[in-house]
Amino acid sequence: MDLNTLWFVLIGVLFVGFFILEGFDYGVGVLLPILGKSDVERRRIINTIGPVWDGNEVWVLTAGGAIFAAFPDWYATLFSGFYLALLLMLAALIVRAVGFEFRSKDKNPAWRAAFDWMICLGSLVPALLWGVALGNLLRGVPIDAHKTYTGGFFNLLNPYALITGLTTLFVFLTHGAVFLNLKSQEPIRGRALAATKRVGPIATIFVLLFITTTYLWTDAFSRLGVNPGLTPILAVGTMLAAGALIHRERMGWAFSMTCLSVALSTATLFMALYPRVMVSSLDPAFSLTIYNASSTPYTLKVMTWVALLFVPVVVGYQGWTYWVFRRRIGPETKLEY
C-alpha cells in the first residue's frame, strides 16, 4: 500500500468514526423537542450527549485537515464547489452549538424552547446535508480539466443526492433513538423505543431506495465488480439485523448493529470511489484521484509519522470519556444544560 492509498484509507476511517459518533448526536438532537415533554426531560435528553457532542465533531475537523494536507486539490475543489452547501451546514452547526451553550442561561420557558428547536434544526440540517454531499461525490459533479467545479448550488440538489440525504437523516434518527434508549431512564427510554420502532422501518426503506438508485444512477456497482466482497453485503445485513433486534427490544445489540451498518456503508462508499476522490460528470478523465490531487511524497511521509504518534492518544482519550459518562441519565443525575 502506497502512502496515497494509506491516507485515503485513514480519511475513510475518520469519516467512519465521525458518522458513528456524530450520527447518534444528530439523531438525539432532532428528537429532543419531540420526545422531551417538559423542560426537565429535555435537559435529561441533552445530558445524554452533553459531555461528548463537541468531542465527536473533532473527527470531521481532523478529516478536513487531513484532506487539506494530503490531497490539497481535493480540498480546493470540494470546498469551492460545495461552498454554499458547506456554509449552510456550518451555520446550522453554529446554531446547534449556541443552543447547547445558551439554553440554560435563562429559566424562561420560551427562551429554552427556542434553543431546543435550534438544537433540533441544527442537527437535522447537517444530518441531511452530509448525505447530499456523499451522494454527489459518488454520482459525480461537473469538474473540468482544470480541476474546477463548474456547476452551481442547485446542481447539488439532484434526486439521487436528496435520496442519499434522506437516507442518512433517517439512519441517524434510528441510531440516535437507540442510543437515547440505552442512555436514559423512563419515561424517555420508552418513548425512544417507540420512536425507534416508527423511524427504523422508514430508514430501511430509504436504504433500499438508496441501493436501487445507486445501481441505476452511478457506477458504484460496476466498480465494485460482480464480487464486491462482504463489506456492502454486511452493511445492508447489519441494518436489517438492527431492525430485528429493535423489534425484540435487544437495544444494546441493536446499537452495535447500527454502528456497524454506518461503518460498513461508509467503507463501501470509499471502496466505490477508490482511487477517485471526486468523480467528474463531464468526463471521467477529469476526475480527481488520490494521485493527481495529492501532496508530495515527503508531505505524506511526515503526516504519517504525526498520525502514528497522536491518533492513538486522541482515540484513547475519547474512549476514556465515554467510559466515564457511561451511566444512564435519570432523576438522580445532576443536570448541566
Helix (H) or strand (E) holding 133: helix 109-139
Q: Is 288 helix (H, G, I), strand (E, B) or coil?
A: strand
Residues 243-270 have pLDDT tens digits of 899 999 899 999 999 999 999 999 989 9
Residues 323-333 have pLDDT tens digits of 988 888 876 66
Residue 337 pLDDT > 70, yes or no?
Answer: no
- pLDDT bracket for residue 1 (50, 70, 90): confident
Residue predicted with more confidence, 335 or 15: 15
Report percent pLDDT > 70 for the chain: 96
Residue at 150 is within a domain: yes
Q: Which pLDDT belongs to residue 225?
A: 59
Residue at 335 is within a domain: no
Q: Which pLDDT belongs to residue 230?
A: 78
CA 162, CA 158: separation in Å to the nearest integer? 6
Residue at 161 is within a domain: yes
Residue at 255 is within a domain: yes
Residue 314 pLDDT > 90, yes or no?
Answer: no
Residue at 332 is within a domain: no
Residue 34 pLDDT > 70, yes or no?
Answer: yes
Q: What backbone phi and psi angles, to 5 degrees, belong to 319? A: -60, -40
Residue 310 pLDDT > 90, yes or no?
Answer: no
Q: Is 146 helix (H, G, I), strand (E, B) or coil?
A: coil
Residue 181 pLDDT > 90, yes or no?
Answer: yes
Give buried/exposed letters for 268-277 (b at 16+ CB in 10 A, else e). Answer: bbbbbbbebb
Q: Which pLDDT belongs to residue 203?
A: 93
- pLDDT bracket for residue 196 (50, 70, 90): very high
Residues 262-306 have pLDDT tens digits of 999 999 899 989 999 999 999 999 999 999 999 999 999 999 999
Stretch 50-64: mean pLDDT: 90
Residue at 271 is within a domain: yes
Number of folded domains in the chain? 1
Report percent pLDDT > 90 for the chain: 74
Q: Which pLDDT belongs to residue 332?
A: 63
Stretch 178-198: mean pLDDT: 93
Residue at 51 is within a domain: yes
- pLDDT bracket for residue 152 (50, 70, 90): confident
Q: Which pLDDT belongs to residue 227?
A: 53
- pLDDT bracket for residue 229 (50, 70, 90): low
Please tell me the total number of residues recorded for the chain in this structure: 337
CA 241, CA 253: separation in Å to the nearest integer? 9
Q: Residue 75 maps to which CATH number?
A: 1.20.1630.10
CA 3, CA 173: separation in Å to the nearest integer? 36
Residue 10, domain extent: 3-324
Report the chain's mean pLDDT, rounded to a whole number: 91
Grid cell 484509507 — which residue? 9
- pLDDT bracket for residue 67 (50, 70, 90): very high
Residue at 333 is within a domain: no
Q: Which pLDDT belongs to residue 74?
A: 95
* pTM, entire model: 0.93
